[in-house]
Copies of this chain bind each other. A is one copy, B any other.
Amino acid sequence: MSGRAVAVVGGVTTKWGVRSATWPELAQEVGAALFRAVPELRAEEVDSLFVGAAEPERFAFQSHVAPLAAEQMGVRPHRILQRTELACASGQSAIRSAYAAIASGLSDIAVAVGIEKMNIPSMAEANSSMGCVMDRMWDGPHGATAPPFFAMVAQRHMLEYGTTEEQLAAVSEKNHRFANSNPSAQFHEKSFPRDKLLRLPLIAPPLRLGDCSSMTDGAAAVLLVGEESARRFTDTPAWIRGTGQYSDFHNLAHSGSLTDWVGLKTASREALRRAGIGVHDLDFAEVHDCFSISEIIEYEALGLCGPGEGGRFVADGRSSIGGEIVVNPRGGLLGCGHPLGATGIGQAVEVFHQFARTVPPARQVPDPEWALVHNLSGSANVHSLMVYQRGGAA
């Protein structure tokens, strides 16, 4: 790849959950937090702003959100200003755009921010809006919104491989336990106690309340710069070493298999190849556990275990601290909540702080050098990945 090296050199999140703050107020809050966390950063040197937001038009009746975010955050971009949308992967899209802009020389100092306000007065309106991330013409009329679709995926995985409800619960248990040490998270272990996970209400069988990520309000922001100025901001830049993305289909009828996520296999191979490492070199991964079944299939598609072995992989503790790779130390979407456009940014914030060793000990990955971030969007038809490497002291 040509272009100069690019790193994430700072990152913050607001508290995620059911918030009274409006969309503009979340933008203001995350902007203030960023400038507090990175005192070396002057507002006027932020030349570009990339805003990840999935559906502000529906949740907040506001389009053209990029200049709104700029105004609320106190920056005045003079190189690139745009919002990126890729449904649940909108945040990572913003980071990818910032990365390309800096690598190409179009930008020198960029902020990628993710903001979503999903808890609104009419939750019926909010829930129906969520449905429009799926194909509305062909899949919508058949009831394929997110929970029924991922329930179908889980049922198929159980049928093909004997995956159990206990194994699904093991994903939820692990991620809510990690969320205990993340004060920004929407939920903690006490919200979903281990002994009750299998008795929680069914949302779409076999998925129970604890298997599903939530409607969440929240924001997160990261600062990205080119190699020449990374050390100005941190001793431990998170270098972007590889990216991969694949769009497989849109209409579900064109999907080859519910449980074999070809797009993730293709995109992760590409991202790791560009980074020059193999999957077993990764110290931790932030993957898209929108539902517990997603994380199980992601282990398999990433090659951390064989097809059908994902359930045992998590139940045996192989994806927790002390296992082969730590998956979702931040608490995942299950623990942190899933403010659509903010999720991908929140994951990158975790990578930065894991590398900087500034997270609480209970979720600190020992001595991390390589990390992977994954987002899926829609009906798991698009997969987006980034590989980060920790930079040592200069």
Residues of A within 8 A of B (CB): 1-4, 22, 24, 49, 54-55, 57-58, 60-68, 70-72, 76-87, 93, 96-97, 99-101, 103-106, 129, 132-137, 243, 245-251, 254, 266-267, 270, 377-378, 381-382
Contacts and interface: CB of A to CB of B under 8 A. Distances in A.
17 contacts: A1-B104, A2-B105, A3-B3, A49-B247, A60-B136, A63-B87, A64-B132, A66-B382, A67-B382, A77-B247, A81-B382, A82-B85, A82-B97, A84-B84, A99-B104, A100-B104, A101-B104
Contacts of A80: 96, 100, 245
A85 B86 contact: no
A83 B86 contact: yes
Contacts of A58: 57-58, 63
A2 B64 contact: no
B70 A247 contact: yes
B106 A61 contact: no
A61 B392 CA distance: 47
A56 to B, nearest CB: 9
A364 B49 CA distance: 37
A83 B82 CA distance: 10
A81 B86 contact: yes
Contacts of A137: 22, 24, 62
B79 A250 contact: no
Nearest to A131: B61
Contact of A64 (B24, B133, B267): B133
Nearest to A249: B71
Contacts of A243: 106
Q: Which 7 A-B pairs have the closest CB atoms?
A: A2-B105, A103-B104, A64-B87, A104-B104, A3-B104, A71-B250, A57-B57
B2 A134 contact: no
A189 to B, nearest CB: 32
A271 B78 CA distance: 11
A26 to B, nearest CB: 13
Contacts of A22: 137
A147 B122 CA distance: 30
A133 B254 CA distance: 35
Nearest to A87: B64
Nearest to A254: B71
A378 B270 CA distance: 38
B64 A86 contact: yes
